[in-house]
Every structure is written in C-alpha cells, then in structure tokens.
Amino acid sequence: MHAFARYRRWLIVLLLVAGVVAIAMWPTPVPVDVMPSTRGPLVVTVDEEGETRVRYRYVVSAPLAGRVLRIELEPGDPVVRGRTVVARLRAEAPTLLDARSRAEAEAGVSTARAAVGRAEADLRRATAAVELARADLRRQRDLAAAQLTTTQAVDTAESSARAAEESVRAAEFAVASGRSQLELAEARLMVPTIDASGRVLTVTSPVDGVVLKRLRESESVAAAGEPLVEIGNPVKDLEIVSDLLSTDAVRVKAGARVRVEQWGGDRVLMARVRRVEPSGFTKISALGVEEQRVNVLMGFEDPSDAWKALGDGYRVEVRIVMWEAAEVVKVPTSALVRQGDGWSVFVVNGNRIQSVTVEVGQRNAEEAEIRSGLDAGRQVVVHPSDRVIDGALVEVRGAGDPR
C-alpha cells in the first residue's frame, strides 16, 4: 500500500509536468491585420512639387542712361500696351555721339528693324498655320459627324489648332517686343542733342498684362539697358514647371494628364504635360545628394476662373499620370512579400496562413496590380511580421485593436 501511494504521487507529478509542457508548447495564434483584395481602378503617378510661372514675361529696361523718376506702379497693377507709362527717365546732360557711337547706334536700329521683320514673318507663317489647323479641325469634325473618323483624330486636330493659336499669340508678342526694341534703338540714336538735358522720356508697356516685379522704385540714376519693371499676363499665360528626377522624366510623355493639388484652393485642378525639356541639370537634394533633374512644363486645362487666384512663383503639388486602368485586381503594397525574384502575399485561409505566389504589375505608393495568382475578395495580411509563415495559426485583429 505504501509503495502504491508513493507511485501514485510520482504519477501525479509526471502528469502535472506533462501538462505544463503541453501548455507551453501549444501553438499560439499570430495576431495579424488584414485587408481584402479588391477589383477597381488603379492610377500610377509621379508626385513632385511644382511652381507656377508666367510663360511670356517682358523686362522693360532703361532705353538710355539717365535719372529714373520714382516708379509709381505696384506689382499687380494692370498695364495696357502703348498706353500705360511704365517708367519716366529724365535725361541728364548727354554726351555727344562720336563717329563710332553713332555707327553702333545705327547698327542697333538696323538690327532691331531686322528683328521686327523676322518677327512679322514668323507671325504670317503662324497665321497661315493656324488657318490650316482650323480647316483640318473642321474637316475632322465633319468626318466624325459622318462616322468616318475616330474621336482621337478629332482630339488631335483640336490640340493642333490650340497649339497653332498659341504660336500666333507668341508671334504677336514677339512682334510687339521687337517693335519696342526698335523704338528703344531709335531713341538711343536720338540721344546726342544738347537741348535734351532735363527732358523727360516716358517708357510705355510693350504688351497688355500686369506688373509682375518692380525692379526699381525710388528715383535714381540708371545705366542704359538696366531692368526697371517686369511685365506678364498670369491670367492667360500661367504654366507649371516641375523638376523631376531624370529617371522619372524619361517616362513622362507630352499630353500626359496631371492633377494639381495642395495649391490652396478647394478643388483639384487638371493640367496636361506640354513639354519635357531635353536638357537636365544637377541639383543638390535636402540630404546633400547630387541629383539629375529635368524640367517638365504643364499647362492648365481648367478655365482661368478656376485658378485665377494663382500667380507667378506659387507652390503647387503635381501628380503626373504615368499609367491607369479602369478595373484591375489590386492589393495594398504593404501586403507584398519578396520571394526570390518574384512576389507573394499571405492569405488568411480559415484560421491558418497560406503563402500565395502572385504576379505583380503596375503599382503606386498605396496599391499594386495583381495580374495572376489571386482573385478579388481574399483577405490578405498587411505588414506581416517575421512570425507570419506558411501554415501558421492566425488571429485576425479586430477594428480598433491597439496592438
């Protein structure tokens, strides 16, 4: 009896030890966060800061050496071509022109006159081009009405017509600027008159627009050619310039859709890539790393009333659309796990984890396209820890779980 009692005590101890070991070795579920794979649109963009600028800007300079009287115009004041007085100069006692100076002044007049002729020829050529583009647009619209052409062909014709109209406007500005330069050159030729001492010469605006910058304000002596006022038209000629990494710029094409955000307004503005400049430049990043950057120019597509609060040199954020699809299977990028040269995701199958190999297509910072290997509606693990392995017991965290 005593021996049986002793054996019974040892048996109880062994059972307790076995129970403790079993409890310690019993698998505990791994807590995970999950999100469903979905089917829907996916947009891949290049995001970067941008800056607005007036596309055509004109610097009014002093036509001759003299004393510039106080400039009363303020930045933002409207100016009218040929009517608004931008600056007034009082000629000091001038020096007589010697033979060399007169020859140089006459050569300047000839050069300015030739520049005007070239600008006028460009204007005639641009006018002929816009007439041809408008005729082509009318023809494409007639063909579209008869269902003999595509909508894309009509859109291309409309884009060409708008570009031709912009070329005409640029040529008109060039003619106006050239004529202003001719007037300045002729004024320099008229300087050597002794009676001109004390005479006030007025300089008018070469174009319609507003004052962008007042480079001089108080009365002072200015040399010939010294900048006085900068003029432009931010309502009609505002564009966006953004410097992208050259590795991103090579993927950007003219005509790409752009979303303009974080500009201070209550809506997202739409724009289009107008040009990717062919020359890059080196820029030092905030971390002190040299980067090759390329300027990308964008034009607004919304009417000017939508972005009239923007001015020259304002900061914006642009999202340039590189790729988009209306309906794809997608998962959060935080669910992707590198597997050799490919990718996989962890799928919750009942109360177990299953590793699924997938083919990843396009992706952005938040979502990735799944081309094969996974259907929509599956629960995938996001931000998997090193405890998440194939076949592991899983516990899905509830909403608001602080762990």
DSSP state string for 300-347: E-S-HHHHTT--TT-EEEEEEEEEEEEEEEEEEGGG-EEETTEEEEEE
- 313: phi then psi, degrees, rounded to nearest 5: 85, 20
Alpha helices in 80-209 (DSSP H): 99-145, 151-189
290-300 and 315-332 beta bridge pairing: unpaired
Give the C-alpha separation, 45 to 173, whole Å. Answer: 35
Give the C-alpha separation, 175 to 151, whole Å. Answer: 36
DSSP state string for 178-231: HHHHHHHHHHHHT---GGGTTPEEEEE-SSSEEEEEES--S-EEE-TT-EEEEE
Token couple for 299: 């034009």
Phi-psi region of 181 (alpha: psi -120 to 50; beta: other; left: phi over 0): alpha
Dihedral, 70, 75, 79, 81 alpha carbons, nearest 10: 80
Give the C-alpha separation, 307 to 299, whole Å. Answer: 12
Token couple for 279: 């020359």
Give the C-alpha separation, 115 to 181, whole Å. Answer: 9
- For residues 322 and 259, the answer to whether their CB atoms sit within 8 Å is no
317: number of Cβ within 10 Å:
14
85-90 and 78-79 beta bridge pairing: unpaired
Token couple for 397: 């965290």
218: number of Cβ within 10 Å:
8
Contacts of 97 (CB under 8 A, 6+ apart): 105, 191, 192
- pLDDT tens, N- to C-terminus, the chain (403 residues): 555 566 666 676 676 666 655 555 555 777 888 899 999 999 999 999 999 999 888 999 988 888 888 998 999 899 999 899 998 888 666 566 667 777 777 787 788 788 888 888 887 887 888 888 788 777 777 777 777 777 777 778 778 878 878 888 887 888 888 888 888 877 777 655 444 445 788 888 988 989 999 988 888 888 888 899 999 988 888 999 999 999 999 999 999 999 999 999 889 999 999 999 999 999 988 888 899 999 999 999 999 888 888 989 999 999 999 998 989 999 999 999 988 889 999 998 888 888 889 999 998 889 999 999 888 989 999 988 888 888 778 878 753 333 3
Give the C-alpha separation, 325 to 327, whole Å. Answer: 6
In this structure, which amino acid lies at residue 347? V
Collapse the DSSP code of 71 into the 3-class scheme (helix H, G, I; strand E, B; otherwise coil) and give the result.
coil
Q: Which helix (H) or strand (E) holds 4?
A: helix 2-25
- DSSP one-letter code for 276: E
- For residues 2 and 366, the answer to whether their CB atoms sit within 8 Å is no
Give the C-alpha separation, 342 to 350, whole Å. Answer: 26
